[in-house]
Structure 1
């Protein structure tokens, strides 16, 4: 049963709700009651409460403060606010602290029951989600195959770092890495028979994974994962010579089974032994590249990583990985330093094994891509780009090319940061001025974002970074400060002050003013 708590400083209101609402038929236990916020908090410390029904205006701890404390202690609690104030601001305040419903006095039983029924539906869904999540977690924890598959996915994506290897090793009970890791990638090529509908593809994918896992089940320290309907990857830990031979003998069996039973040819890539876990992502990418190139001529091959043309792979990484990644990171102010470190590592990698002209071509290609970006900093004009490119062409040593390119990238990152910071500063200043000039209006974050053609969430982040405050807190502070100025003029009535600073009612203005300053508007005026 759902447990509700009614809080109101008026005994008749509490008794009326407890007596006239059909609690049992709504799926609720008989509600608990309290006559103050303090008494309600005492009950909440002792009992689990699912639904809080509270009056807004109470002495001591009012309903809004009570709701805020309850939501902090129990985020799932459903809060229904009851008030005699027919005012938008109190509704807004209630929503901000987490209230899910708001009704006005005099209370209508049917309206209360409608809200309680909706709360019950929400609570039932939340409990179902919690139960199913717990059940799923239990299944995942109990399924070693699922955990192994997650490990391999993270491994090839580079998400398994030196700090997390130990925890994965304990979880999967993996042996210590002494002889390294060897990858064997099985990838389907093309169908040689009919059957491209969804059901056929699912069945083939399941048969593909089963063929690999059953065939290799008797080989020690092999983890197998399905990367997709057309790829299965095996990770062989500490592969002994005899185990390598046994695994390779099974490859032709797997290829034959898939071809005969499902009309599917399979290309297989076998990596060299990786000494460290951190070497696996690169080995996987090398195999993918090697297998894609080989498929252009023939399908159903067994390929070894030592057959890969390193120059071809390096060229592909330069054009499809290195340059795009450097440009992407330079485009984000927070990653500028990381971009320079990454670029430095790329140059160091290319310097070993590549000619001076190759390194020059890489540097020129990188600068050329940066110069074509529509968002490039104005400080780096075309003349400067041409000058740096010419200096790179004049270099006689690889180290000179690296120094020139990295110096340009550092200038690019600094210019981008400065330009972006200046633009953001001007934007936030303009927004602050607009807020001050339109205090009498109900200015929203969405409205400000649309006016400036940016995402509302992004604007909120920028504003907080520039001012140290959220937009709503800033608006509230400006309103209260402007109200203080106006209250010094005795000819302006309090309700007029409220209107001038954007409050729809004097009641909510008085409530918020006292909440922030500790004085009512009239007390503040009298004191000053």
Structure 2
């Protein structure tokens, strides 16, 4: 691996070059630069794995160097960065982490501390390279026909299409599977976001679907006894057969790695469900329904989780009371503007209905009609109902002949309901965000967090962040930063207010960081700005 050390103090550079055992850590002799500008020239011409840079340098600072790497050079996005500074100030740490720094070391540098971070960077890169190499070998060994057979096998097992021992035996011969002594665990990987950025873009749907199964295969390629297949456009299942406890532990460590790769490559959040262990192939369809139930419930608390099914989950799955719990929650989510979660919740409730054996068509139809009735009643209260649309929806429901038709009709009505409610919410959201913006401008010195802001306006913090950016075109932190700078410029025009007092009044904990950020954003220090204003 190749490191680059950037520091305006030659003695500091020489100390790091001499006192760190680069070869033992798996690094080439490090490159060096004494300014940000010199470092950029090296980075443009040479591959660098790790950047070690001082924060405070004349000209281009370490933070500005990292920001330029991030904004102007896509090839440097994977580069690991260690920031070094004599300033023990939280604002500098926060800015460095925001720009992607992976480690922060204070002067005087402890050699063993820096060496530990360099070793961790090396291990991370080696692991990624190893997986890429193993994936390449796997692709060479496996034929396309074998992958297709494996996917069909997984799908048939989960759907319950393997109805006889003879058919199972046939699959065992095709894939060289054990025909008895089963110990099977099901792993289910599913995208959390139901709606795509463009739901009518077939290319995007295919890319995400193929990306999911590709990443799962890549992450689990080294484990024997894994059988992988799609169970839907947004879902991949893995059946693990007869694994030793040690192999299972190793496999489970890969789950978060797969999640990270999908987040990095596709900007997609994935939840992973891990089933209980079963002893017969006929239990696989039940494992699948149990995990679907667990994942849908867990998504109400957040996305990107790794979930393990247990006896408590099993009892909840069988004892869950549909009408009493799901109707109110679906309506609540719709009222709060969380339409995506409402649709996920509806699909979970529907899967619960279908899990009951035998499935009662009349009961499923009554469930669909009951939910539509509740939605129509709410629309009438807000005078946003269309009688003709409602009659047509009722007729479509009555004409349904199977449970999937009922799901389609309810989903269509949900989409129409959401569209009507969004028109109403747009006006409300505009007024709300204007109030939030005024509150922030009036409390710049208070350093209000997003959580405190959300509590002040009785909102979920994540929901508030999304609404604010949608309405204002920038994040809350960017808005506050701009408002602080504007207020600071206004205060600096008063010669009776000292610079450190301006810093305090606009919410900075230290005058040093205020000066640093003011110069970064305006090109002048606060004092230079004030002097120029009075010269004018």
TM-score scaled by structure 2?
Answer: 0.54
Matches within 5 A, 1:128-139: 128-139=127-138
Cα deviation for residue 187 of structure 1 reads 2.6
1:7–1:36 CA contact under 8 A, matched in 2: yes
Match of 2:36 in 1: 37
Question: How many residue pairs align between the two structures?
Answer: 356
The yes-or-no answer on 1:483 pairing with 2:488 is yes
Cα distance between partner residues in 2 of 1:134 and 1:50 = 19
Match of 1:64 in 2: 63
For residues 432 and 413 of structure 1, do their structure 2 counterparts lie closer, same or farther at Cα, with a shift above 3 Å needed?
same
TM-score scaled by structure 1?
Answer: 0.55
Cα distance between partner residues in 2 of 1:413 and 1:226 = 30
Cα deviation for residue 3 of structure 1 reads 2.4
1:371–1:385 CA contact under 8 A, matched in 2: no
Cα distance between partner residues in 2 of 1:205 and 1:392 = 42
Matches within 5 A, 1:218-229: none
For residues 33 and 457 of structure 1, do their structure 2 counterparts lie closer, same or farther at Cα, with a shift above 3 Å needed?
same
The yes-or-no answer on 1:469 pairing with 2:469 is no
Matches within 5 A, 1:154-173: none
Cα distance between partner residues in 2 of 1:409 and 1:74 = 44
SS where residue 210 of structure 1 aligns? helix
Match of 2:445 in 1: 440
Q: Deviations over 1:382-430 (max 9, x none)?
A: 9x78998789999xxx9xxxxxx9x998984553012222332243233
Matches within 5 A, 1:125-524: 125-140=124-139, 142-145=142-145, 147-148=147-148, 186-188=161-163, 207=169, 209-210=171-172, 369-373=371-375, 376-377=378-379, 379-380=381-382, 412-413=417-418, 415-449=420-454, 451-452=456-457, 454-524=459-529
1:52–1:77 CA contact under 8 A, matched in 2: yes
Cα deviation for residue 498 of structure 1 reads 0.6
For residues 378 and 125 of structure 1, do their structure 2 counterparts lie closer, same or farther at Cα, with a shift above 3 Å needed?
farther
Cα distance between partner residues in 1 of 2:77 and 2:415 = 46
Cα distance between partner residues in 1 of 2:419 and 2:456 = 29
1:53–1:82 CA contact under 8 A, matched in 2: yes
Cα distance between partner residues in 2 of 1:24 and 1:61 = 30
Match of 2:531 in 1: 526
For residues 26 and 439 of structure 1, do their structure 2 counterparts lie closer, same or farther at Cα, with a shift above 3 Å needed?
same
Match of 2:80 in 1: 78
SS where residue 440 of structure 1 aligns? helix
Q: Deviations over 1:315-348 (max 9, x none)?
A: xxxxxxxxxxx99999998999xx9xxxxxxxxx
Cα deviation for residue 475 of structure 1 reads 1.1
2:518–2:524 CA contact under 8 A, matched in 1: yes
Cα distance between partner residues in 2 of 1:410 and 1:16 = 64
Match of 1:100 in 2: 102
SS where residue 18 of structure 2 aligns? helix
Cα distance between partner residues in 1 of 2:63 and 2:280 = 68
Q: Deviations over 1:238-286 (max 9, x none)?
A: xxxxxxxxxxxxxxxxxxxxxxxx99999xxxxxxxxxxxxxxxxxxxx
SS where residue 187 of structure 1 aligns? coil
Cα deviation for residue 93 of structure 1 reads 1.4
2:376–2:390 CA contact under 8 A, matched in 1: no
SS where residue 491 of structure 2 aligns? helix
Match of 2:202 in 1: none
Match of 2:3 in 1: 4
Cα distance between partner residues in 2 of 1:45 and 1:264 = 56
For residues 385 and 487 of structure 1, do their structure 2 counterparts lie closer, same or farther at Cα, with a shift above 3 Å needed?
same
Cα distance between partner residues in 2 of 1:129 and 1:149 = 28
SS where residue 422 of structure 1 aligns? helix
Cα deviation for residue 435 of structure 1 reads 1.9
Cα distance between partner residues in 1 of 2:415 and 2:24 = 70
Q: Deviations over 1:35-68 (max 9, x none)?
A: 1112212222333222211111222322112223
For residues 427 and 265 of structure 1, do their structure 2 counterparts lie closer, same or farther at Cα, with a shift above 3 Å needed?
closer
1:55–1:81 CA contact under 8 A, matched in 2: yes
Q: Give the stretch that moved more between structures: 482-491 or 204-213.
A: 204-213
For residues 379 and 490 of structure 1, do their structure 2 counterparts lie closer, same or farther at Cα, with a shift above 3 Å needed?
farther
Q: Deviations over 1:116-174 (max 9, x none)?
A: 32232233123213321442254246332454258769999xxxxxxxxxxxxxxxxxx
For residues 206 and 92 of structure 1, do their structure 2 counterparts lie closer, same or farther at Cα, with a shift above 3 Å needed?
farther
2:20–2:115 CA contact under 8 A, matched in 1: no
For residues 80 and 388 of structure 1, do their structure 2 counterparts lie closer, same or farther at Cα, with a shift above 3 Å needed?
closer
SS where residue 446 of structure 2 aligns? coil
Cα deviation for residue 513 of structure 1 reads 1.0
Cα deviation for residue 463 of structure 1 reads 1.4
Q: Give the stretch that moved more between structures: 32-41 or 444-453.
A: 444-453
Cα distance between partner residues in 2 of 1:392 and 1:13 = 74
Cα distance between partner residues in 2 of 1:205 and 1:118 = 54
Give ranges in structure 2 of 5+ residues lacking alignment. Answer: 177-227, 232-236, 240-278, 284-329, 344-364, 400-409
